[in-house]
Amino acid sequence: MEALNAFDEAKMGYACDIDGSYIEVLKNWLSDYDGGILARVETADFFSKDWESALDNLPEPILVIGNPPWVTNSQLGQLKSDNLPAKQNHKKMKGLDALTGKSNFDISEWMINRMIEWLQEKQGTVAMLCKTSVARKVLLNSWKRDKKMEVATMHLIDSKSYFQISAEACLLTITSSYEKHKECKVYNSIQADNPAQTIGLRDCFLVADIHGYEKTKHLIENGQHYKWRTGIKHDCSKVMELEKIGKDRYINGFGETSELEDLCLYPLLKGSGLANGKTPEKFMLVPQTKIGQETRYLAETAPKTLEYLIKYGDLLDRRVSSIYKGKPRFSVFGVGDYTFSSWKVAIPALYKQLEFFVVGPHEGKAVVFDDTVNFIAMDNAEESYRLAEQLNSNTANIFYRSFIFWDSKRPITVQLLRSLDIDRLLAESGSEFKYSISKTSRQLQLI
């Protein structure tokens, strides 16, 4: 309705919806419409309609506008909706990552990708309201598959004001042509005239800042000895995270106190505490020193700890993540020799800030992190501070920011951190130093 009024030069308008009541409202409105544009509406299922044939009957250029569902296929499944696309692995992924079977994907992403396919042999523009994460996935898919795309833009919108929901969203526009440009200008609002940034595909990477990427791309990782890790995952904070209230006495998240040996208890820093410069206020119970280790050894070395774990065993046994299946009882993940290194260089994973911190021992024990922190295990304080200094340098900052999309749920990922060749960064800055850090069996100690 708004489109017919806004685009008075249009020759034809076509609309469809799966909900017949919406179509009836539109038909009633059209009965009084005298704008001179031929309009056709019908009840139709997006996923089964022959859109190629429908578009063949429309004059060019074609403008496709809409607001596709902001839900995933699993969310629709929970609602017992069968209004889903036919399953296909359009991203050519393997196993559980593929868009088949039990994998999860945004319905709007699938729909917009289809719309782009429609226009590959036509002149036209797709203009869709969607989540910014969906917009980037759509663009990346089109760029990697070498789709015809002359112009692409993202205009950020305040979804709270417009739709009363909390989600990073935008108006995505993609204009097809015989050109194959692989950039997208991003505007801070619908009204903005000048772009705030330009994202694009460079060397098979989705880049958030093209200028920054071009300036620092020589620092892309090409084999290095530093190993970024994620903190410990346990999925049961009320049991595994405790506050010390006296000698060998601890209180858990249920407010229940227990007497425990300190063998498996380590000072804990979460991402929020790290970001705000706090010292550890709680302890994490870490019953394993490596993934898959049997926990029966606690019967001899820490019987009170084992008794405590058995007491809350039902809760630990009910952890839903598949990573615990087939593993020893009370297992945790993200644990190894690196976990117990006295010195670490760390960064919060969920905070919208790019700052690296040095974390040393607390009360004589190594500090451990939960899975909201990424870190490198180090040997000593001197090397830790020198490494953190370089990771916080302007060069490293530009490099990382060229890849970071701050509206992501987890903007700082291990994959992102590993993309920087730290050895080369240190060499360029003249800050090379001898180090010995946690390595895989294929890595050698540098001297």
Q: Each residue of 55-104: pLDDT tens digit? A: 888 888 999 999 998 866 444 444 444 545 554 544 554 443 443 333 55
Q: What is the largest CA-CA distance in the chain?
A: 87
SS3 175: strand
Could you tell me which residues are beta bridge partners of residue 149?
Answer: 180
Q: CA angle, corner 147, sides to 143 and 152, nearest 5?
A: 65
Three-state helix/strand/coil letters over 131-142? EHHHHHHHHHHH
pLDDT score of 86: 55
In this prediction, the residues of the chain whose per-residue pLDDT falls under 50 are: 73-81, 83, 87, 89-90, 93-102, 434-447
Spell out the alpha helix ranges (H) of 303-440.
Answer: 303-311, 313-317, 381-391, 394-401, 414-418, 422-429
Report whether 156 contacts 125 (CB < 8 A): no
pLDDT computed for residue 433 by the predictor:
54
| Predicted confidence (pLDDT) per residue in 316-370, tens digit | 999 999 999 999 999 999 999 999 999 999 999 999 999 999 999 999 999 999 9
Please, what's the b/e burial string for 30-68 (b: 16 or more CB within 10 A of its CB; e: otherwise)? Answer: beeeeeebebebeebebeeeebeeebeebeeebebbbeb
Helix (H) or strand (E) holding 27: helix 20-31
What is the CA angle 110-112-113, rounded to 5?
Answer: 65
- Give the model's pLDDT for residue 81: 47
Residue with tokens 């994202």: 199
Q: Report the 10 Å Cβ neighbour count for 204.
A: 8
CB 115 within 8 A of CB 126: yes
∠ at Cα 191 (190, 194), nearest 5°? 100
Contact 157, 186 (CB under 8 A): no
Separation of alpha carbons 20 and 44, rounded Å: 9
Report the pLDDT value the prediction gives residue 104, as an integer from 0 to 100: 53
With residue 245 as reference, give the H or E element that holds it. Answer: strand 241-246
- For residues 388 and 345, what is the distance between their CA atoms, to the nearest angstrom? 6
